[in-house]
Chains A and B, each alone.
Chain A
Amino acid sequence: MKKSLIIILLIYIFLPLSSQERDKITLNNVWAFGVGKMELYDSYLSPALYSGLAYTWDATHSAFYRCSNQRVSWRNHNHIGYSSTLNPAFSSAMDYLELSIGYGSYYHFRPAKGLIFRVGGELDLEGGIKYMARNINNIASADIAINLSIGGAARYVLNFKNFSLGFEYEISTPAIGCMFVPQMGQSYYEIYLNMSSTLRHVVHFSSFNNKRGLDSNLMIDLMFNGFTLRLGGKYEYLEWHANNLYFSRRLMNGYIGTVVDLHLFGGTQSRNRSSMSYL
């Protein structure tokens, strides 16, 4: 079982590499842990705004589709977050667990030396559950959505003798997708009992009319010889509504992580600074 899981995970991460040239492939990996403040609003559970500590873990893998044409890259982003929040009166708690997996493609522009812009889109599968132990029957609320997000980033790298400094600002917004929102007074028990007939009322097309959001990241990469430390700040705001229910999520956090380039198939010759950290 454990072996199967590892194999599936490896296929999942490295599948996009199959279309790449089998030389000088550099897989850029970022792992980051963040702590910050989360604000949650879920009118299915409560009319109050809950806020508290949030912990996040992000793993991002990216590479160019072709090393000979370093214009188009793919990216896989995996996110897990946990928040423990309280209402303004500190009389009730809401726990929030969120998971998301996304795949995207980006086009890269290089208008000046050391400066790079990239724009593109990402398809995200998001799942989350909010849990309020104090509530009666409506103790939990599920966030399930598929989004096509559009976004871009600007990155500037300053090179010193044995050290490089990278600055990056990334921004994205959900553009189109679908999401799960129960009807206003509907219990999950009822959804469970009548899944087939209920489905058309709880699955909604989403776009700027009913789902708006902004996910922005400011990152600083301290690139030493063989080691890159990433420091960053994240501001994420997302609000959505359907069936007379309103939801929002605001995350402000700081994170620390590491950036690792894996040079695949090309051996030591491929270490020519072709990774996304530099270009």
Chain B
Amino acid sequence: MKQIKPLLLYALFPLLALYGCESRALSEYNNDPMDNFDALWETLDTRYCYFESRGINWNEQYGTYATRAKKCKTVIELFYVMWDMLDVLNDGHVNLYTPFDVSRSSGWYEDYPSNFSESLIYSDRYLGNDYRMSGGFHYGLINNREIGYIRYSSFSNGFSSAGLFYIDYMFSDCKGIILDVRNNGGGQLDNSAALASCFFKEKTVTGYMRHKTGPGHNDFSAPTPTYVDPSTQRIDWSDKKVVVLCNRRSYSATNDFIVKMLMAPNAVVMGGITGGGGGMPLSSELPNGWLVRFSAVPQYDAWMQEIEFGVEPQILVNITPEDLEKGVDTIIEAAIEEIKKENI
């Protein structure tokens, strides 16, 4: 019996240690207004990736908005205090989703020329009504069937290799291609890489990404390269003249696509500055079940420059009010001229 007692103690020790640590993994927040506010502030504090780049003192924001949050009497009031706090970040990838509203950042595109009119694109001068659709693409021949035009409105909508083959067949006699990603708010980075790979001759480093490795504002991993690899795509448009159209609302995955296309050998990027959104967003939630989305994985171009605040096109063109009145898309017209110039 004397021998068994120490054995039992040894056997019980790991179990006692186990239960001593159990509570560590459980949620530390209750579902009251200040706990929800604290959870939101802390989630951003530990996981948001652009405090330094945006020059924001997040601790200072806590002092300002916690005072207001304490006075809230309804969840709707609390939501608007949280919205105001998130708006300080001025980041289109930061949203708070509730059953009654979604917070969003203001000012990142409203203060720029829109450079986009859907009614012009689908007017008889350009795509008209008899355009074709393949996956997320609307495409057709414009300018006396000399130029192929693809309208891609969201990188959330995929496309297939088969679809690209049909487009390639239709565009086989074209002088060049216009790829219009204006007002494309982004979507999947996979689609951005897959589409860009049609325009490259060889595997190319087009950028870098990092991620948070700890709760500190500067706890980042070493940058890892991102590539565009044409061997993954069976369509080769690298010898065709391509003009990519963008504007301020070309955001997130579209911004990433523009960064890639700036390195494509025969491509020209034209239009207005993109919206940015270089940080891949992740999400979390508050104790009351509201979802929060935030930039978490910063991305850079091939020279390790920030792309969060937008990318300048190679040729800056704005739609003029006069052209708009005449039913002319100044940017498409400039793209047509650019392609014709190459083919003289």
Query: A-side interface residues toward B, CB under 8 Å?
Result: 41, 46-49, 87-92, 134-138, 173, 183-187, 189-190, 193-194, 197-198, 201, 208, 212-214, 237, 239, 241, 243-244, 246-248
Interface class of chain A by DSSP: loop
Q: Which residues from chain B contact A48 at a C-beta distance below 8 Å?
A: 27, 285, 287, 289
Query: Quick one: given A136-B283, A244-B214, are A189 and B189 in contact (CB under 8 Å)?
Result: yes
B270 to chain A, nearest CB (A): 29
Interface status of B249 (Cβ within 8 A of chain A)? no
For A45, the closest partner residue in chain B by CB is B284
Query: Quick one: given A41-B27, A46-B285, A47-B29, are A185 and B212 in contact (CB under 8 Å)?
Result: yes
Query: Quick one: given A138-B282, A190-B209, are A47 and B27 in contact (CB under 8 Å)?
Result: yes
Q: Which residues from chain A contact B214 at a C-beta distance below 8 Å?
A: 184, 244
Interface status of B138 (Cβ within 8 A of chain A)? no
- Name the residue in B99, B219, B221 with the highest tally of chain A Cβ atoms < 10 Å from its Cβ: B221
For A185, the closest partner residue in chain B by CB is B212
Interface status of B266 (Cβ within 8 A of chain A)? no
Residue-by-residue, is B129-163 near A (CB-CB < 8 Å gives 1, otherwise 0)? 00000000000000000000000000000000000
B285 pairs with A185, CB closer than 8 A? no
Q: Which residues from chain B contact A246 at a C-beta distance below 8 Å?
A: 24-25
Query: Quick one: given A173-B14, A212-B17, A239-B25, are A137 and B281 in contact (CB under 8 Å)?
Result: yes
Interface status of B318 (Cβ within 8 A of chain A)? no
Q: Which residues from chain B contact A189 at a C-beta distance below 8 Å?
A: 189-190, 280
Assembled-state Cα–Cα distance A239/B39 (Å): 22
- Interface of chain B residues 42 through 56 with chain A (CB within 8 A): 43, 47, 49
For A246, the closest partner residue in chain B by CB is B25
Q: Which residues from chain A contact B226 at a C-beta distance below 8 Å?
A: 193
Q: Which residues from chain A contact B15 at a C-beta distance below 8 Å?
A: 173, 214
Choice from A197, A237, A243, A247 contacting B224 with Cβ under 8 Å: A197
Assembled-state Cα–Cα distance A89/B289 (Å): 5
Q: Show 10 A/B contacts (Cβ-Cβ < 8 Å), sorted by A.
A: A48-B287, A136-B283, A183-B213, A184-B214, A186-B211, A194-B224, A194-B225, A201-B221, A212-B14, A237-B22
Q: Which residues from chain A contact B99 at a C-beta distance below 8 Å?
A: 91
Q: Which residues from chain B contact A185 at a C-beta distance below 8 Å?
A: 47, 49, 211-213, 282, 296-297
For B39, the closest partner residue in chain A by CB is A47
Q: Which residues from chain A contact B224 at a C-beta distance below 8 Å?
A: 190, 193-194, 197-198
A270 to chain B, nearest CB (A): 36
A92 pairs with B189, CB closer than 8 A? no
Assembled-state Cα–Cα distance A46/B296 (Å): 14
Interface status of B201 (Cβ within 8 A of chain A)? no
For A193, the closest partner residue in chain B by CB is B226
For B24, the closest partner residue in chain A by CB is A246
Q: Which residues from chain A contact B27 at a C-beta distance below 8 Å?
A: 41, 47-49, 88
- Name the residue in A46, A48, A89 with the highest tally of chain B Cβ atoms < 10 Å from its Cβ: A48
B41 to chain A, nearest CB (A): 13
A47 pairs with B297, CB closer than 8 A? no
Query: Quick one: given A193-B224, A237-B22, A243-B213, are A186 and B297 in contact (CB under 8 Å)?
Result: yes
Assembled-state Cα–Cα distance A27/B155 (Å): 56
By Cβ-Cβ distance, the 10 closest A-B pairs, closest first, are A89-B289, A185-B212, A91-B289, A248-B25, A136-B283, A185-B211, A186-B211, A194-B224, A138-B282, A212-B18
B14 to chain A, nearest CB (A): 6
B58 to chain A, nearest CB (A): 16
Q: Which residues from chain B contact A183 at a C-beta distance below 8 Å?
A: 211-213, 221
A249 to chain B, nearest CB (A): 9
Choice from B18, B26, B225 contacting A213 with Cβ under 8 Å: B18
A85 to chain B, nearest CB (A): 13
Given contacts A48-B27, A48-B285, A89-B287, 6 further A-B contacts (CB under 8 A): A88-B287, A136-B282, A136-B283, A183-B213, A185-B282, A201-B221
B139 to chain A, nearest CB (A): 28
Assembled-state Cα–Cα distance A248/B212 (Å): 22
Assembled-state Cα–Cα distance A161/B26 (Å): 50
A47 pairs with B213, CB closer than 8 A? no
For B29, the closest partner residue in chain A by CB is A47
